[in-house]
Amino acid sequence: MFKSILNLFFPKSCSACDAILLSNEKVICSICRHHIPLTNHHLLTENEAFKKFYGRISVEYASAFLYFHKKGIVQKLIHNLKYKGHEEIGTLLGEWYTEDLKETISSLKADEIIPVPLHPKKFKERGYNQVTTFGKSLAEKLELNYNETILFRKVYSKTQSKKNLLGRTEGIETVFDVHFSEKDHNKHFVIIDDVITTGATLEACGRALLKIPGAKISIICMAMAQS
């Protein structure tokens, strides 16, 4: 009863268009769900996300769930997740994408979900890592371990979205490193992030993880920037 009264005076709105959600809608309204741009990367092994890393780093699999367009639905979702504390968006996208990924991830025999980490200073500023709920949702549904301690960021940097292409790639290979032990050898790590742009951050994370003997990596993101 209290929840109903609360919703009456403070109705929940769609995280993509701000419309009032109906009682059967969760986080995103039905209209936005219908219009959200899906990549369907899971239907093709050598998709555009996978090709992003050709000649750069060896990945077993790569995919993104949605297309990211400026001033589009997905940009609004990622903005609300990343800067407005709406972590439920990550949970929803993880649950949604799991249905597409179950068969692929099972065949890859992946072991752990690894989030792209924030520097401790950035984490303190924001209060959370925007990919945590997405990663934990994937890990739970795909029955994988969620490991947020093995990969860490050594260098504090400004928000990537405020940098140009050169600024995003310059020196990125020195930003990440790993803490590991023998139990981490020969594992298949699935790196997750919010948006693939140049792919430089994910490449740097992958290179760090590949320092581990016998390691393999795959990449899964919420979205991919499309020109």
Give pLDDT tens digits for 98-125.
999 999 998 999 999 999 999 999 999 9
Over range 169-187, report the average pLDDT.
87
pTM over 0.75: yes
**Cα–Cα distance between 93 and 75 in angstroms, integer?**
14
User: What is the distance between the alpha carbons of residues 139 and 74, in angstroms, rounded to a whole number?
Assistant: 22
User: 62 has which bridge partners?
Assistant: 219
State the pLDDT confidence band at 188, using cuts at 50, 70 and 90: very high
Transcribe 33-54 into DSSP letters: HHHS-B--GGG-TT-HHHHTTT
Tell me the average pLDDT across 128-133: 98
